[in-house]
Structure 1
Amino acid sequence: MAGQKPPRQDRQRRPNKGGGHMQKRKPQAKAASSGAAAERGGHKPVQKPAQKSPQRATQGAAPKVSRETASATARQVSATILETRPWDDYALVDMGAGQKLERYGPYRIVRPEPQAMGQPLLPQADWDKADAIFSGNTDEEGPGRWRYQTPLGETWPMAYRDIRFHGRFTSFRHVGVFPEQAAHWDWMIDRVSQSSRPLKVLNLFSYTGVASLLAAAAGAQVTHVDASKKAIGWARENQELSRLTEAPIRWICDDAVKFVAREKRRGNTYDGILLDPPKYGRGPKGEVWQLFDGLPDLLADCRDILSPNASFLILTAYSIRASFVALDMLMQDVMANRGGQVESGELVLKAETGGRYLSTSLFSRWQGGQG
């Protein structure tokens, strides 16, 4: 219900030594050498001076470096796992056999999920009672169709904190919200609400605007950019539902890459940037976006439009054949001269049944000064 604060979602799993968030570390992985880095747009891993490299927030120290030979250096990086737990209007109920069973508001839905490689814990009868089942292309952005037990309305109400929004069945399996982003939402809200000044926040590839509305409700001045007129229309519906029609939000239908390039030329800056690019996409004028080709330059341009006292830059990547290490190395390279802290890893959902975890996406986020 709106107004009922859900549990904080930016939980970091680790053995609890004296309190604090919980953080789960993956086994340390060695970063790829120049061959894999070149595929990420020509960024080669180089050993930077320690005083210029951003420090990783969750480690409390710079990445460990161990000498293997006189001419080779192995760089070790640990992942941060950010966990989203169920709240009133969302839960990962069960998962397995390449599918996931979720609750969105009043409905239970089943969708393909390649990451769900184990077996379901609930009996098949529980899965068969789902209100809607998506079938079709198993690719995250692939088309398909929904099958309903009984006719359902076009939209249904949902809420996170005090923000209300519509759920809606789409032909590409999505329903208007990516719940694992709640871990970033809570972290962003803290940065915005604790600032001594109103922060200017830029939300790119911003979809239905839940993050934009949460930032505005926390006191930010928001610029919301998406290439889809339909998505922006949906976001403005959510603005009305949330009773934030007077909030300082600019709604812009534009290609994100071109918008950021223009802002850079104009000298406009932002205190925080949310960057959630698709693997593949098209702009309103047919502009083609390929994540591996375009992300290094876009991230560098985002860095260039951060204000001198910027607070954060959050990058999330879905459905890509990469690792958190690739995003971590890119973020470290791009933000090397800005100081601050970088943490990278995965966003996961915690299931109601059995307490298992479903990995949904990779992330890397930079934290600057608190302004």
Structure 2
Amino acid sequence: MQLQTLAGEPWADYGLVDSGNGRKLERYGRFRFIRPEGQALWAPAQDEWQADGEFVPASDEEGGGRWVFRQPVPREGWPLNWDDVRFTAQCTPFRHLGFFPDMAPVWRWMREQVAGMEAPECLNLFGYTGVGTSAMASQGVRMVHVDASKKSVEAAKANAAFSGLADRPIRWLVEDAGKFAAREARRGRRYDGILLDPPKFGRGPNGERWTLEDGLPPLIRDCRQLLDGDSRFLFLTVYAVRMSALAIGELLRQELAGLGGTIEAGELAVREESRGLLLPTAIWARWRR
């Protein structure tokens, strides 16, 4: 399997300004932030970075850390746009800004897969704050959005309303993604496309324990049951684990055998504005008709 790179390009409200020495400088609308980035092994292009805030990681290996602000940044967040989608960015305790900008080429690719279909329906598992859900709903796609965090689902609803999508056919569910997929498979449900963005570790709303290594294979098997000969895609992203794109690509190849179509895998990356180099962010695998 030949690996590919999906590169996120800068847009008006987001850009990777510079990176290096284990950090990255990004712009989110009118604000700039510095965050840790283990993949940035090289030297930065600029000698000094000016930012409104920086996330300083904890000294232990358990993660954590805190934001240090040099200029006032709205705690409640501020508006951003991607294409025709509006949403709120916010400095979260988990070092990110409430959405993942490297997913932009994935949103565009998913739109392309269902273009021209009559009333397609797609499933967004581990949907988080729902920018991907809004990106599809804005194109007339019926969506089912599932996340174990009530707070994330409420944020996703707010983002959809912010984009003028409150009246679109979006089903919002606070639920364990694995349990939901298994139940949908037993019911004989089917979808035209599935987006999977599972965490390395997580808890369901009722304390269900999720680990990627144990939970991903059965989840993909259940998702296979939700796809048929008329379905268009499944897209899987994996962050922050010691796992290979070749491995998850082979997982899809075996579990989705019989559907026809094409299996591809590779890395997600963001293109740096200062030099044009690519900063890798995640691995992915996908099936398409």
Structure 2 stretches of 5 or more lacking a match? none
AA aligned opposite 2:103? Q
Aligned equivalent of 1:157, options 60, 76, 79: 79
**1:245 pairs with 2:166:** yes
**Are 2:24 and 2:36, in contact at CA under 8 Å, matched by a contact in 1?**
yes
Q: Cα 1:194–1:156, aligned 2, differ >3 Å: closer, same or farther?
A: same
The answer on whether the counterparts of 2:26 and 2:32 sit within 8 Å (CA) in structure 1 is yes
Deviations, residues 12-57 of structure 1 (Å, cap 9, x unaligned)? xxxxxxxxxxxxxxxxxxxxxxxxxxxxxxxxxxxxxxxxxxxxxx
What is the CA–CA distance in structure 1 between the aligned matches of 2:226 and 2:22, rounded to whole Å? 41
The alignment of Structure 1 onto Structure 2 pairs a total of residues equal to 288
The CA distance in 2 between the partners of 1:94 and 1:140, in whole Å, is 26
- Cα displacement (A) at 1:219: 1.4
Match of 1:179 among 78, 101, 104: 101
Q: Which residue of 1 aligns with 2:199?
A: 278
Aligned to 1:360: 281
Aligned match of 2:3: 79
Q: Secondary structure at the match of 2:95?
A: coil
Query: What is aligned with 2:114?
Result: 192
SS of the residue aligned with 1:336? coil
Match of 2:143 in 1: 222
Question: Cα distance, 1:177 vs. partner?
Answer: 1.2
8 A Cα contact 1:192 1:215, kept in partner? no
**2:42 aligns to what?**
118
Match of 2:265 in 1: 344
One-letter code aligned to 1:170: T
Deviation at 1:123, TM superposition (A): 1.6
Measured in 2, the distance between the counterparts of 1:109 and 1:273 equals: 32
- 8 Å CA contact retained: 1:281, 1:288: yes
| Matched AA of 2:133 | S
CA distance, structure 2, for counterparts of residue 138 and residue 218 of structure 1? 44
Q: How far 1:274 moved relative to its partner?
A: 0.3
Is residue 58–residue 66 contact of structure 2 (8 Å, CA) maintained in 1?
Answer: no
Alignment partners' CA distance in 2, 1:290 and 1:323: 16
Structure-2 change in CA distance of 1:329 and 1:79 (3 Å): same
Q: How big is each residue's C-alpha offset from its partner over 1:79-115, in whole Å with a ceiling of 9 and x where there is no partner?
A: 1111111000000000000001001111100000000
SS of corresponding position for 2:258: helix
The match for 1:104 is 28
1:236 pairs, out of 157, 176, 180, with 157
After superposition, the C-alpha distances for 1:243-279 in whole angstroms (9 at most, x for unaligned) are: 1111110000000000011111111111100000001
Task: Report how far residue 193 of structure 1 moved.
Answer: 2.5
Does residue 209 of structure 2 align to residue 288 of structure 1?
Answer: yes
Give the AA of the match of 1:193.
Answer: A
Question: Post-superposition, which runs of at least 4 consecutive aligned residues in structure 1 deviate over 3 A?
Answer: 137-141
Gaps of 5+ in 1: 1-76
- Write the letter of the residue equivalent to 2:36: P
| Deviation sequence 1:125-150 (CA, Å, 0-9, x none) | xx1x2001001248999321101012
Equivalents in 1 of 2:47, 2:157: separation in Å?
40
2:54 is the counterpart of 1:133: yes
The 5 A counterparts of 1:143-154 are 143-154=64-75
Alpha carbons 1:169, 1:175 under 8 Å: kept: yes
C-alpha distance in 2 between matches for 1:191 and 1:360: 23
> Does the C-alpha gap of structure 1 residues 315 and 269 become closer, same or farther in structure 2, counting only changes over 3 Å?
same
Alignment-mate amino acid for residue 157 of structure 1: P
Q: Name the Cα RMSD after superposition.
A: 1.4
Q: Which residue is equivalent to 1:91?
A: 15
CA displacement at 1:322 relative to structure 2:
1.4
Q: Please tell me the residue identity of whatever aligns with 1:345.
A: G
Deviation at 1:228? 0.4
TM-score, normalised with respect to structure 2: 0.97
> How far, CA to CA, are the matches of 1:304 and 1:270 in structure 2?
10
Partners of 1:171 and 1:142 in 2: CA distance? 11
Structure 1 residues 317 and 140, CA gap change in structure 2 (3 angstroms) = farther
CA offsets, 1:186-207, max 9 Å, x none?
1111122222x11110000000
- Segment drifting more, 232-241 vs 108-117: 232-241
Q: Give the letter for the 1:78 counterpart.
A: Q
Q: Distance in 2 between matches of 1:208 and 1:356?
A: 28
- The answer (yes or no) to whether the contact 1:192–1:219 under 8 Å persists in 2 is no
| Residues 1:226 and 1:357: Cα distance change in structure 2 (over 3 Å) | same
Q: How far does residue 183 in structure 1 lie from its aligned partner after superposition?
A: 1.0
Structure 1 distance, partners of 2:11, 2:84, is 13
TM-score, scaled to structure 1: 0.76
